[in-house]
Amino acid sequence: MPGKKSNHPLSVIAQVLSIGMFLCSHGAWAAGKYKTLHAFKSGEDGSRPGAGVIFDQAGNLYGTAEGGGPNAAGDVFQLTPNPDGTWTENVLYNFCALASCTDGASPQGGLVFDTSGNLYGTTKLGGVDNYGEVFRLSPNGDGAWTENVLYSFMGSDGSSPTDSLTFDASGDLYGTTSGGGAYAQGTVFKLTPQPGGSWTESVLYDFPGGDDGSTPLGGVIFDAQGNLYGTTFYGGRTAEGIVFKLKPSKRGAWTLSVLHGFNSNRDGGQPVDSPIMDSSGNLYLTTPEGGRFGYGMVFELVRGAGGEYTGSVLHDFTGGRRGEVPQAGLIFDLAGDLYGTTYQGGNLNCVSPYGCGVVFKMTPQARGKWSYRVLHRFSGSPGALPVASVIFDATGDLYGTTQGGLGTSFGSVFEFMP
């Protein structure tokens, strides 16, 4: 299905074909089986994973940890399933800690595969000028992986990328930076591979702040016509962030249109992640702020016949045991149901006084309504505080990450079997 976190292309096909068999019964609470696949220990093998995980064709999981490792600068890890049901972690690459290190530090975004099995991602810090970078990890055939820095940001062309990258059909990479650019408000960029193995960066859009938005924290997605869609954390008429569209021209320029500006209490605010799109061109996303109760919401932008968009609130988080503060994007199953996580709420007896977060499901109902139910409440031992999207495997189980629970852990990777 469409979405921000991209799996290996062939793995996506296998997952989508089988997800249609995965349908849960309706109800306010669904009892499922929760399993911790890996708990990061003392930060030695990584800590605070801020992005989700992806599968390869063999069923291995890959992700990034923002911190930890021998250099306290984060790493890229692999989890391999064992016959007895356990999983083994293998750190593929440890990033350098020093500002002068050119191989990057603090990867906050997720990973994406190309068709050759190479991994691509971003780091918020490091690079030549410590403004962050885009990297590639290539398997050597002996179990080791080699890192190549594809591009180091210079500040004037963007800084501090915090999310995943997106490929187009030609093999070009697209992403956002949360800062830098002509107005120091963030950018949308493109990386194009060259015949000699180098990559050329071009800035597609410099956010000026104000009504046109600033500080994009999520990545971008494509529609079938080659337009890009994303969100900004700040900006818009009420400074609560926007949903934007970038349309390319034949001359290579890109034009930004503001599809929606958030208004806090009325319809949420400060989106952190990118939207996802259904087959009709409608957009779906979460906001961690705003709503009637101030705990965030799930939001839809419906595409009209003329290309205009109309916003509507699908769910207003009430807090407490039903979850609050969703920071991650959403995913679809083939039935059109939505799945996501909240950073807080849920089990109020866990290590956080505000709750350790939930996994939720939303199902479309008659007359445009949606039902909401909690699938899992994190306990904080060890899983707590998820900030990333979940993904499906081929049998309909969900996989994701948590950042850990206030000193009780350094984060984890989990599986939830509805």
C-alpha distance from residue 200 to each of 125, 197, 303, 312 (Å) = 20, 10, 34, 39
Burial 324-339 (b: 16+ CB within 10 A, else e): bbbbbbbbbbbeebbb
The domain made up of 9-417 has a fold known as: Methylamine Dehydrogenase; Chain H (2.130.10)
Distance between CA atoms of 269 and 72, rounded to whole angstroms?
A: 32
Yes or no: say if 6 and 112 are a contact pair by the CB < 8 Å rule. yes
Show the tokens assigned to 112. 């994406």
In 3D space, the residue among 210, 153, 162 whose CA is nearest the CA of residue 181 turns out to be 153
For residue 412, the tally of other CB atoms under 10 A from its CB is 23
Cα–Cα distance between 48 and 62 in angstroms, integer? 15
**Whether the Cβ atoms of residue 289 and residue 344 lie closer than 8 Å to each other:** no
> What does the pLDDT profile of the chain (418 residues) look like in tens digits?
333 333 333 333 333 333 333 333 333 444 689 999 999 987 889 999 999 999 999 999 999 999 999 999 999 999 999 999 999 999 999 999 665 688 999 999 999 999 999 999 999 999 999 999 999 999 998 989 999 999 999 999 999 999 999 999 999 999 999 999 999 999 999 999 999 999 999 999 999 999 999 999 999 999 999 999 999 999 999 999 999 999 999 888 999 999 999 998 889 999 999 999 999 999 999 999 999 999 999 999 999 999 999 999 999 999 999 999 999 999 999 899 999 999 999 998 887 789 999 999 999 999 999 999 999 999 888 889 999 999 999 999 999 999 986 556 899 999 999 8
Beta strand pairing call for 338-342 and 331-332: antiparallel
pTM of the shown model = 0.91
DSSP 8-state assignment for residue 25: P
